[in-house]
Amino acid sequence: MCNRYASKTALVATAVLFYLCIVERTGFGQKRDEVRISLRQAIEMALANHKDIELARQNARLADWDLKSVISQYEPRSTFNSFYEHTQLPINSFLSGGVNGSVIQSDLMAGYRLEGLAGRGGGSYQVDFSSRRFTTNNIFAALNPQYPSDLSVRFTQPLSRGRLVPTRLKDIEIAKKNLQLTDTEVRKIATETIINVKRAYWDLVFARNRMTIQGEIVRDTRAQLELNTRRATTGSLAVSDVYRTEARTAESEQSAYQTAEAVTRAENTLKNLIVESAASDLWEASLVPTDVLDSAETSVTLQQALTAALDNRLELQESDIAREINAIEQRYFQDQTRSQVDLVSSYGLAGLGGSPNSLIRSLAPTAVPGFLEGAYGQSLVNLLDNRFNSFRVGVQITLPLHNHEAEAKLGRALVQSERVSTQREKFKQLIQVDVRNAYQAVSIAASQQQAAAVVRLALEKQHASEERRLNVGYSTNDVVLERQIGLAAARLSEMRAQTEHQKALADLERAMGAALEANRVVIRSR
């Protein structure tokens, strides 16, 4: 029976050895590429590669282009046109001046317009210049060919609606605020990413430490199984005791497989935060954290944490920007409820030059003034000399019978202002609860860590005492193994408490809005 049992035990030992080889290959990465990574490196990689941050940066660039698009409304616009026109009309009066029953005219025209918006006050301007070469067979034309030219300037200035808060200015101010919102969103996502990386990093540290301890338990239980098997073979130990040790070995093996899976899951969670893409070589590597769990404590008081949160939390900054946008809309819609009163003014210059018509000299004894005789250059000279001009100024008033649309939009903006204020108070209350919970979690985690350390120290002393008892024959290997397993569980409990403490500290950084500053991170959204 003992031989049969020895054979069975050898098979179990072989299985355990095979498992250890698997754990060594998959868990500790001896056969895979091993990448040592610090917490700082993980944070930097996540900020550089995480897709949510990249999407937020792209949104910021989109908002930047939106702002440039709105500002472009102030860019002057120019229009040039040129055409040639030929007409031949029948005469219907002896005063038509036509020859052979028709009036023939040729007109070559060129024009240029420059228009734009004033930088302040909501005004708009328009500058037009045109010049022509006009020929005709009309015998009554004083100049043929003639070169008319015109230059006019028109300016419209709102006196009531649109003067203080023009639509384009409102659009620009809101676009600037939207750009600030996207910048805040980038920082917000970066903060969340940092906290997620820290939590995932410490989870991986714990998982690898747990796998190391579980491997030691497998080694110890296997050694105990081999010892009990030899004792059972010599008849100094009951077979039932061997079965109990065998079951314990199988349980430790099962736990080791579970810890190996936990390491893989923890690695994948961290890799998902830091790798650049699904094709990254890092997916096939084994991550080895270089930072270790410690007993770091926070020196921040609860009141300091609450004050920092109210100063730094990005939710409140977003609320401030929303309030500023609402204030812009209120001013604009308040302005829209006014009547439309515009000051309209224009000034024009005219020039003319040409060759005197020889056909009319016999009919009209009055000679053409000399300053009109010439070609296109003479027309421009007369234009610039301001010989012929026109001036116009007036007021254009638009009085709507009802202005319910503007009043409704103003009313909505006022209600929205109340809503923004209510949301801000809600955020402040939620932030206070968040900080208090995070601060309490840090305190509890620190206490649990201290308690776990006391338990571990006590079990270390108990284990050492049991080994001394074994050396003098007052204890057994099974009891020592029990103490070893209990000590391993205490070590795991302490490591879990340390991990939760580190994660609680990270959550407190998030609650205080201090994650970027605490980790020395400067975010550039564009």
- Confirm if 182 and 63 have CB atoms less than 8 A apart: yes
250: which residues sit within 8 A by CB, 6+ positions away? 12
Q: Distance between CA 295 and CA 235 in Å, rounded?
A: 50
- Confirm if 352 and 173 have CB atoms less than 8 A apart: no
Q: Distance between CA 43 and CA 25 in Å, rounded?
A: 27
Tokens for 173? 């101010």
Give the number of other Cβ atoms within 10 Å of residue 512's Cβ: 27
179: which residues sit within 8 A by CB, 6+ positions away? 60, 63, 64, 66, 67
- Confirm if 225 and 478 have CB atoms less than 8 A apart: no
271: which residues sit within 8 A by CB, 6+ positions away? 280, 282, 283, 287
Shortest CA distance to 266 belongs to which of 331, 209, 314, 205?
Answer: 205
Alpha helices by DSSP H, 235-342: 239-274, 302-312, 314-336
Strands (E), 367-425: 388-398
Phi, psi angle pair for 373, to nearest 5°: -80, 130
pLDDT by residue, tens only, the chain of 526 residues? 444 444 444 444 444 444 444 444 334 334 568 899 999 999 999 999 888 888 988 999 999 999 999 999 888 999 999 999 999 888 877 666 667 778 889 999 999 999 999 888 889 999 999 999 999 888 778 888 999 999 999 999 999 988 888 988 999 999 999 999 999 999 999 999 999 999 999 999 999 998 988 888 888 888 877 877 887 788 777 777 777 778 888 888 888 888 999 999 999 999 999 998 888 889 999 999 998 887 777 788 999 999 999 999 999 999 999 999 999 999 999 998 888 899 999 999 999 998 887 766 666 666 678 888 889 999 999 999 998 999 999 999 988 777 888 889 999 999 999 999 999 999 999 999 999 999 999 999 999 989 988 998 998 888 788 778 877 777 777 787 788 888 888 888 889 999 999 999 999 999 999 999 988 888 877 6
- Confirm if 204 and 263 have CB atoms less than 8 A apart: yes
Which bin fits 239, alpha (ψ -120 to 50), beta or left (φ > 0)? alpha
Q: Distance between CA 396 and CA 492 in Å, rounded?
A: 84
Q: Which residues of 406-416 are buried (b: 16+ CB within 10 A; e: fewer)?
A: beebbeebeeb
Q: Distance between CA 156 and CA 118 in Å, rounded?
A: 10
Q: Distance between CA 145 and CA 134 in Å, rounded?
A: 6
Tokens for 352? 């003319």
**Domains defined for the chain, CATH in brackets:** 2-65+171-326+414-518 (1.20.1600.10), 83-117+123-161+340-399 (no CATH)
CA dist list (Å): 165 to 160, 161, 162, 329, 412:
10, 8, 5, 10, 18
Phi, psi angle pair for 325, to nearest 5°: -60, -45
pTM for this model (two decimals): 0.75
